[in-house]
Structure 1
């Protein structure tokens, strides 16, 4: 998709990300509890301050469509993404994750996804990830799958 771009996260983008994660349908699909505004801003302040994190705003046709991120956790390089519901079904998440993967030199790369999140599972598979084992139940009680890109 030619109209999909990634750029560094700007302060105003974080407010759009907050609105996206407040969407009940999106939160249910991701099996995540939305944070309140203060907690959300604190989270983004913390992750933006860590130089090991790779954080990008996803632009679709010049509009902020979401974010794609990568971080290290427990010795693994992980990726994640969140696209606003108004942008779903257009291949934006797949294009954005593919572009992020082009700038990440580390392999393997991993992603955890809720078992019920069929859309995100499709995105990961389209980007070359494969399921790395059976579902596991996370500390929060959510059944998740681990996907890996070698």
Structure 2
């Protein structure tokens, strides 16, 4: 259920946001559900270098999610193997409040390129529901190595089209 009183603000991610966003990645439960993490999610220098590059990449749309002047997560559009993809991360302290769904709906107004794809671990039911509530439809499955789980897992592929 989405809290209608949430005042979600999106703004382009700034380098100064990266310290806070990095801390969210350190949460083990969040990382497990995200599954597809860097080999060493504790390597802050690698994280800062990667995202500093991405912030300067015109094909990437990185936005920071803010509620009541508090950074609660991030959302981004990026290109992978020629497809436009979506990714988001909400600080676990804010799970279950409808923030991911509301944020994705706002982001999809800003980011109008379609089709756009979302990928989610087979057992990340929360993210599956977020994508479905925002009009994404499951179109396939894939397997990939999930660093957070140290094994290959199945992921579901979702697609949002204009129609």
Normalized against structure 1, the TM-score is what?
Answer: 0.93
Structure with the higher fraction of residues in helix conformation: 1
Unaligned residue ranges in structure 1 (runs of 5+): none
Partners of 1:102 and 1:146 in 2: how far apart? 21
1:4 aligns with 2:15: no
3-state secondary structure, aligned to 1:142: strand
Q: 2:109 aligns with which of 95, 102, 106?
A: 102
**Partner in structure 1 of residue 88 of structure 2:** 81
- Give the conservation status (yes or no) of the 8 Å contact 1:60–1:92: no
Moved more, 78-87 or 6-15: 6-15
Partner of 1:57: 64
Distance 1:86 1:109 in 2: 28
- How is 1:1-150 mapped onto 2 (pairs within 5 angstroms)? 1=4, 2-33=6-37, 34-133=41-140, 135-140=141-146, 141-150=152-161
1:142, 1:43 → 2: CA distance?
24
SS at structure 2 position matched to 1:52: coil
Q: Is the 8 A contact 1:3 1:62 kept in 2?
A: no
- Taking only aligned residues, the RMSD between alpha carbons, in angstroms, comes to 1.3
Give the conservation status (yes or no) of the 8 Å contact 1:52–1:72: yes
Cα distance in structure 2, aligned partners of 1:8 and 1:106: 17
SS in 2 for 1:59: strand
Deviation at 1:42, TM superposition (A): 1.2
